[in-house]
Structure 1
Amino acid sequence: MKRRIGWMLGALAAACMPAAAATIDTVVRKAHEAGQFDGVVLVGRDDAVVYRRAIGLADRIAQQPHTPGESWRWLSISEQLAAVLVLQDVERGSLSLDGTLAQYLPGFGNAAIGRITLRQLLQHTSGLANPDEAAVDERGVPAFYRANGETANAKAMLAPCAGAPKAAPGARYEANTCDYLVLAAVLERVNETRYPQLLAKRIAKPLGMSSLSLLPPNGSPTRSGVIGHSSEGSREAPYDAGRYGAAGALHGTLDDLWRFDRALMDYVLVSKPAAATMWTGNPRLGNAALGAWAYAAQPRHCTAPVGVVERRSEIGGIRAVNLLVPERNTALIAFSNTARTDWGQISQGSGLLHDLLDAALCTSDLEPPAAAPKGKRKR
């Protein structure tokens, strides 16, 4: 009976939505009913949230439902904020994207590591040693992230990154926690400020992101925010999420991530030229940009291609995506706590992420108006 009442209320709410929101809601509901999505979706355009929905269970053991304002681990979306801090310093003249670690972090690693540039770190082409490849325990957690009760200081966190490089700088793309741990060390040295304080001072406080926090590397099992679940429904293996640092240790609400996205697309955090640099994907590297991927997409029901900036991640039992369409001033944010979630590929014209984007962009009441392009907000 409760399930039927819940379905009827959901159907009534969808009937009262604008066309685009109702279409998005249909995609979300079908994915949930197929067992492929439990979580929260938010779509924002201009200064308004046009769709927000929480569906399924945040904790399957305790039978606790998802809520729109709950806190999530942002996983590798954290890298987008790190990239902004770097570009801010580039605009100030204290860093250069083509400057090397020998300049900004002298004494770190060998001569080969010293030749790595900030651009290569941001694009994951540094060739640094990768802590994800350390021996794993019986639950599949690499030793670097193991929740062993031991607090790690900055020196211990960076130690694996200073080992023998895997490849020459710029040779190939490989996602690597070390890239952003090292970037955070560069930012701290140049600004003489700890990374959490930089985030608070230059991003969180100015934008009113009150939920944003960086998990510390304290050797404790991850229990902040929503709990991830395996494909079979069991809780994810415990790990120390703080060990991801600038590469994946942020957590907060979807509304605060929307505040960040909106400020980024309004050029409040960095200038339009700097944003364009961040959002230029390299086809040779699978369209890797700085802290994200950037490419042109053609959703099924859109009349023209759109430029997409995409950051997705999966760690443990959490699946997350932050997708921006700057020319439409639109952001699509979706977090799921089941490993059964498969976003698919937008370029293939199908899959959950394509269908969400298609509904968000290509439905009549979200088509771009005929007005003049939006201007830059006062910084």
Structure 2
Amino acid sequence: MHRLLYVLFLSLCLAAPAGAAVPAEFIDRYAAEHHFSGTVVVQQAGRVGYEKSFGMASLAFKVRNTPQTRYRIASITKAFTAVLVLQLAEQQRLDLQAPIRRYLPDFAGSGGDAITLQQLLNHTSGLPNFDQVKDLQTALSEGVPAYQKPGTPAQLVARHCSGAPVTPPGSTFDYNNCDYIVLGLILEKVSGKTYEALLQERLLQPLHLTQTGLLRQGRIVENLADTYMQREDLHGLADDLPVYAENWYAAGSMYSTAADLLAFSDALFGGKLLKPESLAAMTRPGLDDYGYGVWSYAMTIAGKPHPVVKRPGRIMGAQTQLFRLVDDDTTVVILANTDAVDLDEFAAAIARRLFGGEAGTPGKTAQTGSP
């Protein structure tokens, strides 16, 4: 009997993840000290070791965030879009080396003949940047024109994402929502379906992501957290600026829960969505360590490199982080409804605690064109 217990104990030890136990007290303390509002989930070796929510989904009605709260996930949307593009490429319905105009014959300007789908995926297209308002003060005084006038995908491309490249395609990394808005329209043209329908058919329904979808100004989403920005002029939090969420389209218009995003991550890295060569291409770092829709780099913890694939997002008070330590089979999902916390640093701090380090840098931070 004693030998059997010993064998069982040894088997459990060998099956356990290489990292330490999830640092629950550290996460709780970090969240409290930084006034974090949102949900954190940490999974190791397929087992959720931490899931907790903090703060208010609605300050006005004093409704608390819970694990069932839906959040605006901002640019995590780009990871979903990249997967859809790669799936159609695997079926030879898209050629990543083909120019935009093969799929959008009416695309205006020389960029249509020069910019490839691959350059859209890795933000080296050179298209004029969709987001011209870079700070809150400008937004408060002049508005955010690209997002405060509704537009169809075709209208958005015509208004903001056409014309000649401002840098030679393939030469310069410039994080630009235009790239993924154009990709969304290409997906629609090739599939004959709306981006939303394609998303449902290929990702949300097969993975049973029932708490995930697209935001629209006229659509009420049950359990969706309100979002708030820090306003120095008001000495505290304030509602986000009024915008049409659908204008972020295939670049940033989705909502989800932490559990649904964890399921998406499990499917992606578990080989259920893409062939190995497609996943390798998606996560291969290029300029600025960016692959297709995600950043990919090595994070050094306690002197050891840990490969990371990360998809952050930020639109005003919506702050998001999908953080995967690839070789360690560890995923951190952080979704927030205020901009009080740097989620790049929060996720990195959790990773350092998990794997025996307390110093280091968080790596790449998501850029954003919205205040």
Conserved in 2, the CA contact under 8 Å of 1:32 and 1:56? no
- C-alpha separation in 1, matches of 2:259 and 2:70: 10
Conserved in 1, the CA contact under 8 Å of 2:323 and 2:347? no
Provide the residue aligned with 2:306 in structure 1.
306
Q: CA deviation at 1:198?
A: 0.9
Alignment partner of 1:352 out of 346, 354, 357: 346
Conserved in 1, the CA contact under 8 Å of 2:73 and 2:253? yes
User: How many pairs align?
Assistant: 330
Alignment partner of 2:294 out of 292, 295, 298: 292
**1:78 corresponds to 2:77:** yes
Choose 330-339 or 250-259, whichever is displaced more. Answer: 330-339
How is 1:183-202 mapped onto 2 (pairs within 5 angstroms)? Answer: 183-202=183-202
Provide the residue aligned with 1:244 in structure 2.
248
Provide the residue aligned with 1:278 in structure 2.
282
Provide the residue aligned with 1:30 in structure 2.
29
Q: CA deviation at 1:62?
A: 2.7
SS at match of 1:37: coil
Q: CA deviation at 1:70?
A: 0.5
Q: Which amino acid aligns with 1:20?
A: A
SS at match of 2:53: strand
- Any idea what the Cα deviations from partners look like across 1:107-141, whole Å, max 9, x if unmatched? 31222332111111011111112221169653664
Q: CA deviation at 1:91?
A: 1.3
Conserved in 2, the CA contact under 8 Å of 1:20 and 1:359? no
- C-alpha separation in 2, matches of 1:223 and 1:123: 34
SS at match of 1:321: strand
- Any idea what the Cα deviations from partners look like across 1:187-223, whole Å, max 9, x if unmatched? 111222211111111111111001111123x578999
- C-alpha separation in 2, matches of 1:188 and 1:362: 46
Query: What runs of 5+ residues in structure 2 fail to find an aligned partner?
Result: 1-18, 231-235, 358-371
Change (3 A) 1:219 1:176: farther
Q: Which amino acid aligns with 2:46?
A: D
TM-score, with structure 1 as normaliser? 0.80
Q: Which amino acid aligns with 1:356?
A: I
SS at match of 1:198: helix
Taking only aligned residues, the RMSD between alpha carbons, in angstroms, comes to: 2.5
- C-alpha separation in 1, matches of 2:308 and 2:203: 22
Sequence identity percentage? 29
Provide the residue aligned with 2:261 in structure 1.
257
How is 1:116-195 mapped onto 2 (pairs within 5 angstroms)? Answer: 116-133=115-132, 137-138=139-140, 141-146=143-148, 151-159=150-158, 160-195=160-195
Conserved in 2, the CA contact under 8 Å of 1:152 and 1:219? no
> Looking at both structures, which has the greater relative contact order when contacts are Cα pairs under 8 Å and sequence separation is at least 6?
2
Between Structure 1 and Structure 2, the one with more strand by share is: 2
SS at match of 1:40: strand
SS at match of 1:131: coil
- C-alpha separation in 2, matches of 1:353 and 1:256: 18
